[in-house]
Amino acid sequence: MVSTAYSYYPGCSLTSSATEYDISFRKVVEALGIQLDELEDWNCCGASPAPHHKAETLGVLLPGRNLHIAGASHDAIVAPCAGCYNRLKYAQYKLAGDQDIREQTSEVFQAEVRYQTEVLNIVQMLNREITPEALRERSQGRLANIRIGAYYGCLLTRPADILGFDSPRDPRKMRPLMEATGAEVPHFPFKTECCGSYMGLARKDILLKASHRIIEVAVSTGLDALVTACPLCHQNLDLRQEQINKAMGTSLRMPVLYFSQLIGLAMGISPEELELDALVVQPDMDRWLKGVA
């Protein structure tokens, strides 16, 4: 029985390069009895180029249109992609505080813009829908054999005055549910270090160095995997890991899971259903789930 319904904004990455994130997220919310209503005719939020366009309104219009659509039917919209979440919150912030931009946006939409819909990221939404106690009961220590690190990156917590989600220096909101999986979650000192973001387009060397430092510290911390909620961070840390090792002369190996994949495993959803086979660096699932019936 469905008890909760959210407007769902998958964004571009979850429908192209990060489909395993979309699939695993849908599997988790289905198991929780949550209804996701995907936005009709949604558009790109402009996560990469729009914020840097000389016309500031473009950075509001693109995500603002998605807010406007969601506002017609739901009280809350969930955006699992950290970049999309960041842009939706930015548009909401600007529309609420800048009358000129609000009027310009309404003029383009030919209707008074709806922007008050609550915007949630995946961590907020899952913390709302399942308590650590409930997840611990469902998990029964399913992932007790592993050590995992929470990697937030940049876009999930910064800028703090706009997002208001967690501490930008020492975020902890992922930790309760991660610990409830049964896994050990030691402090990961590089949890908010930048992975290099979009620098792969212009200065790949900078990106590879930045991501290498994160993976290197994860390995030295004795982690079995990193967990993230950002498709871009995932791409840089997982997909580029061979490139990183080649550039830096190392042979590091660190699986990187999406937050939804981790929670799904703890709930008893199979690795196949959660699309773990899409990961470039594969976790040792035989060891992770050793002794689990």
Supply 220's token pair: 């030295």
The token pair at 89 is 């919150």
| pLDDT (0 to 100) of residue 257 | 99
What is the CATH code for 141-288? 3.40.50.11810
How far is Cα 76 from Cα 118, in angstroms, rounded to an integer? 4
Gap between the Cα atoms of 226 and 148, Å rounded: 6
For 122: left if phi > 0, alpha if psi spans -120 to 50, otherwise beta; the answer is: alpha
- How do residues 196-242 score in pLDDT, each as one tens digit? 998 888 899 999 999 999 999 999 999 999 999 999 999 999 999 99
Asked if the 4-120 domain carries CATH number 1.20.1050.140, the reply is yes
Cα distances (angstroms) measured from residue 255 to each of 41, 79, 81: 34, 23, 19
Identify the residue whose tokens are 């090792």. Answer: 245
Given a contact cutoff of 8 angstroms between Cβ atoms, the answer to whether 63 and 91 are in contact is: yes
Domain map (residue ranges) of the chain? 4-120, 141-288
State the average pLDDT for the chain.
96
Q: What is the band of 292 on the pLDDT scale with cuts at 50, 70, 90?
A: confident
Sign of torsion over alpha carbons 219, 260, 81, 179:
negative
pTM for this predicted structure: 0.96
144: helix, strand or coil: coil
